[in-house]
Chains A and B, each alone.
Chain A
Amino acid sequence: MPTFVYMTSCDGCGHCVDICPSDIMHIDPVTRRAVNIEPNFCWECYSCVKACPQNAIDARGYADFAPMGHSVRVLREEDKGTISWRLKFRDGREKHFESPIRTTAWGSIKCASEYEIPSNEAINSQELAHEPDYLKTDQGLPSVTVDHFIKYELAPASAAKKKSKKVSAQAAE
């Protein structure tokens, strides 16, 4: 469902413009409020809806396949760490859902550079950061050797002439 913006709620703050992955929420130069400039490139991802401090954005199912009269509203509360949804069917039935969104404080992730500087030995090994500890096994990083791999042989004719052909627009003319 592409999004639309309620005239009386939007204050033109631009949060939706900033977040939309499709770059389709823009501030209208005349009304100074947000508008979806390209509804047919809207994924209904709700990123803008969740980001709007005024709850000014709503969505309506795509006109080419969704009957009218429904609504799917969302409230994302970072401080509470939850997201809640209210679904209203065309016939008025409602459903409510709530889920956690994060178990740690926002901004609490330790930066990759705050860990001890890796040794040369580690740099030259196959291990990635925090391995093998973070695999949480006692086995270390699994590995195989090259002789575990065997080539699938094509039919001799096909394999011998290493079939190379040009596929191009020019050739097709």
Chain B
Amino acid sequence: MAGKKTVFVDSDILVIGGGFGGCGAAYESRYWGRDKKVVVVEKANIERSGAVAQGLYAINCYMGMRWGENEPEDYVRYQRNDLMGLVREDLGYDIGRHVDSTVHKFEEWGLPIMTDPDTGRYQREGKWQIMIHGESYKPIVAEAARKAADAVYNRIMVTHLLMDKKQPNRVAGAVGFNVRSGDFYVFQSKAVIVAAGGASHIFKPHSAGEGMGRTWYAPWSSASAYALPIRVGAKMTQMENRIVLTRFKDGYGPVGAYFLHLKTYTQNGYGEPYEPTWRQSIEDMVGDYVNHEPVPTCLRNHAFLKEVEAGRGPIRMVTKEAFKDPHKEIVGWENFLGMTIGQAVVWAANNIDPKEVNPELVMSEPYVMGSHATCSGAWASGPEDYAPDEYQWGYNRMMTVDGLFGAGDTLGGTPHKFSSGSFTEGRLAGKAANKYVDDLGTNTPEISEEEYLELKEQIYQPLETYRVGRNEITAGTVSPTYLLPLSGLQRLEKIMDEYCGGVGQRYMVNEPLMTRGIELLKMLKEDLKNLGADGLHQLQRAWELHHRVLASECVTAHTMFREETRWPGYYYRGDHPKLDDKNWHCFTLSQYDERTGEFEMEKAPVYHLVDDVKQAAE
């Protein structure tokens, strides 16, 4: 694509992805760095981009310290319990102590937060969640970010990070292309904050036809947050910790408000409770963890799955009683209209009125992300004032690559951040990046012309491949020389589903399966060189696929490395069916070597807050 213009953009702090983490990063970078040039680059339009495009009905991470509701320590315990013991407690504490100031700022900006008429406090949905009228949550937060940044570049798909040509292991910027004009963009920056969201469409979704886009996490969550750092050798953690969710059938409507606020509950296809049935089998697998309060998300999934396997599905949410209360009925519907409109559509289409019918639930396909009840992502340095040495090598939220920061779904080890925690983590990264830039002085990174020109060639290759290949065939989508992005995506989803624990295998994996999976992924990765794109939109799809494939390789390498079943209900190692604290009460870390295509795996220790440590493994 010699004809495409190259645009150079210089900055002090470059934020990749203008979602919740990215908006927080932009705001805080500006607050602390008045003299800095802060640039945000976003593949869609920051007004409605990311996982919060359609809004949210709750803020799922709020301490309420001002009312003595929770302290950061309580939050850390909650994270740890839910994730079966393995979280970065230093990072979690940090989110907990700052997140309230974020939420108070959101309220000041104009986000309607519901209040409890009796207490005057924010209306709680559950212990950690508060209820909002969040249709415009994203545009409101985007307004603050737009004002804070020197420039927001919308519709630029970032494809690769650039490394410093003088100093190894130091980031120097990023490249990408404008999805509208096709122009090639070279961003040079002293610090880079990756906040590019999580990953859907790594595993095959339930619906593979027109409805394949109606996944739980947004179809545009394309794993860039992982692929960008992985490629340049940043260490990743807990990538095996994919999440599977209990959701309303077909629409993936969330169940949180239903369980917590509406007090609905589940039963099997015969109207019976089923969780107690599986308690003993869970204890056999995970021991004492079954006694955690609340019961970890994955273990509740496990009971659901076993009950369905036993032939007593479908599992239903009992809504008939709660929906008799008109207030609850409104909450039930608005909950979807505010964040998962598709669920309201599915119910309207099927004549499902939860007042009269108890709607079906389903167990979703796995997702890879770092901000929900799961914590896949990059390995990051902890807060300076207390993080143990093994968790601290520089600036807060900096990855193992100098100058490369992350926030939200991008960073691993910190589950249950959700929207407010992701924004808060962006703020932490923004402040730390500002400090990093100050400390650089004149020792600033430099991009290499050779590197970005080579990447430019790679980036536009699918257009050329298609142009040439297209002339060999009469018409249609079948070509012997090129692979369309959609075909490649479907191949990826099938491989991951069948060989890495998707729905089709009832979330079951073992070493032989994954060994074969890795071979298949390798051939897919080779075939990506033959991706063909008929235009800029498909070129975006092509690079999203590249990112998903690299992230999938990483997920598989991690899943293979952890020889235990830590989170039954998320996935099972058939060859290591039990939780094994003696050997695996630790983080898994990987580091990718682009030259060899290998992931080097290691263990990293888990530190617990001292007052509730269980010293020895049973």
Tell me whether A109 and B143 are in contact (CB under 8 A). Answer: yes
Tell me whether A44 and B341 are in contact (CB under 8 A). Answer: yes
Measured between alpha carbons, how far is A75 from B9 in the docked complex, in Å?
A: 39
Contact of B349 among A67, A102, A166, A172 (CB under 8 A): A67
Tell me whether B521 and A40 are in contact (CB under 8 A). Answer: no
Measured between alpha carbons, how far is A146 from B584 in the docked complex, in Å?
A: 23
| Dominant SS among interface residues on chain B | helix
20 new A-B pairs (CB below 8 Å) besides A19-B47, A65-B250, A135-B65?
A: A1-B349, A41-B213, A41-B220, A43-B219, A64-B211, A65-B207, A67-B350, A72-B344, A91-B351, A103-B110, A112-B31, A130-B105, A135-B100, A135-B104, A144-B609, A154-B582, A154-B605, A164-B602, A167-B556, A169-B521
Measured between alpha carbons, how far is A168 from B390 in the docked complex, in Å?
A: 26
Tell me whether B45 and A19 are in contact (CB under 8 A). Answer: yes
Is A52 on the interface with B (CB-CB < 8 A)? no
Tell me whether A1 and B583 are in contact (CB under 8 A). Answer: no
Q: Which residues of chain A from 68 to 105 have any CB-CB distance to chain B below 8 Å in the complex?
A: 68-72, 74, 76, 83, 85, 87-91, 93, 95, 97, 99-105
Is A61 on the interface with B (CB-CB < 8 A)? yes
Give the shortest distance, in Å, between A77 (CB) and chain B (any CB).
11
User: How many A-B Cβ pairs are below 8 Å?
Assistant: 340
Measured between alpha carbons, how far is A97 from B484 in the docked complex, in Å?
A: 42
Q: Which residues of chain A from 14 to 36 have any CB-CB distance to chain B below 8 Å in the complex?
A: 18-24, 26
Q: Which residues of chain A from 35 to 49 have any CB-CB distance to chain B below 8 Å in the complex?
A: 37-47
Measured between alpha carbons, how far is A144 from B608 in the docked complex, in Å?
A: 12
Tell me whether B101 and A102 are in contact (CB under 8 A). Answer: no
Is B610 on the interface with A (CB-CB < 8 A)? yes
Tell me whether B386 and A130 are in contact (CB under 8 A). Answer: no
Measured between alpha carbons, how far is A72 from B111 in the docked complex, in Å?
A: 24
Count residues of chain A with CB under 8 A from any CB of chain B.
Answer: 103
Q: List 30 A-B contacts (CB under 8 A).
A: A1-B349, A21-B220, A23-B44, A23-B179, A26-B537, A39-B213, A43-B219, A45-B53, A65-B207, A66-B349, A67-B350, A102-B140, A109-B110, A111-B148, A112-B28, A128-B98, A128-B431, A131-B101, A132-B101, A142-B65, A144-B609, A146-B387, A152-B585, A152-B607, A154-B585, A154-B603, A167-B601, A169-B521, A169-B522, A170-B597
Measured between alpha carbons, how far is A21 from B144 in the docked complex, in Å?
A: 19
Tell me whether B250 and A112 are in contact (CB under 8 A). Answer: no
Binding site for A on B (CB under 8 A): 27-28, 30-32, 34, 43-45, 47-50, 53-54, 65-66, 71-72, 89-90, 93, 96-98, 100-101, 104-105, 109-112, 133, 135-136, 140, 143-144, 147-148, 155, 179, 207-215, 218-220, 250, 330, 333-334, 337-338, 341-342, 344-346, 348-351, 353, 383-388, 390, 424, 427-428, 431, 434-435, 515-516, 518-519, 521-522, 525, 537, 540, 553, 556-557, 560-561, 582-586, 590, 596-603, 605-611, 613, 615-617
Bitwise, A145-173 to B at CB < 8 A (1) or not (0) is: 11111111111001000111111111111
Tell me whether B348 and A87 are in contact (CB under 8 A). Answer: yes
Measured between alpha carbons, how far is A90 from B212 in the docked complex, in Å?
A: 22
Give the shortest distance, in Å, between A38 (CB) and chain B (any CB).
8
Give the shortest distance, in Å, between A36 (CB) and chain B (any CB).
10
Measured between alpha carbons, how far is A147 from B557 in the docked complex, in Å?
A: 34
Interface centre among A21, A63, A104 (most CB of B within 10 A): A21
Measured between alpha carbons, how far is A84 from B582 in the docked complex, in Å?
A: 55
Tell me whether B101 and A143 are in contact (CB under 8 A). Answer: no
Contact of A59 among B96, B179, B211, B345 (CB under 8 A): B345
Tell me whether A166 and B598 are in contact (CB under 8 A). Answer: yes
Tell me whether A149 and B341 are in contact (CB under 8 A). Answer: no
Measured between alpha carbons, how far is A115 from B597 in the docked complex, in Å?
A: 48
Tell me whether B617 and A155 are in contact (CB under 8 A). Answer: yes
Contact of B345 among A40, A61, A134, A171 (CB under 8 A): A61
Tell me whether A43 and B214 are in contact (CB under 8 A). Answer: yes
Contact of A101 among B112, B155, B345 (CB under 8 A): B112
Interface centre among A97, A123, A144, A145 (most CB of B within 10 A): A144
